[in-house]
Amino acid sequence: MEIRILASKDAEKYQRLRIEALQNHPEAFSSSFEEEKDMPIQKTEERLNGKQSFTFGAFIEKDLIGVATLIVETKIKIKHRATIVAVYVHPSARNTGIGKKLMHELINQAKALPEIEQIYLTVTASNYSAKHLYNSLGFKTYGIEKKALKVEGTYFDDELMVLFLS
């Protein structure tokens, strides 16, 4: 298995995995399948080439089987913060440690950026396996956003978490 930062050459594989994630787990992402299914590949390339974000991918041979993104804040008052988004591991690769390895890469990337002092993430409150992973890495819950997402008439709460690096 290889984990590395994705680039524009990975856009098609990333987009395929992202669409799968949005379709199979709509409660886990604020973006929707309907909004992204017809997104031009150029938008995905731009996303992967962004200067303020780092998207890591986990590969088994040439197959992209997991992704996670770290977004670095740019506004003066919040430049000490980063946010983890778009974490997804293909079902065939779950419970193998890939999610944890991706998260370690994001945390190490944040630690390598001198201004970053804390990392935020949001997780669906009912996603116990993801919450267990994040807790094991030191993330702490600081709030619950009730009815944060509404998917086909069903509400989902989000758990807000933070990891302080210092």
Three-state secondary structure string covering 98-161: HHHHHHHHHHHHHHHCCCCCEEEEEEECCCHHHHHHHHHCCCEEEEEEEEEEEECCEEEEEEEE
* Global model pTM greater than 0.85: yes
Residue 112: the pLDDT is 97
| Lookup: tokens for 45 | 């390339």
- Structural domains in the chain, CATH included, are 2-164 (3.40.630.30)
pLDDT tens readout for residues 118-146? 999 999 999 999 999 999 999 999 999 99
Residues 6+ apart with CB under 8 A from 99: 66, 68, 87, 89, 130, 133
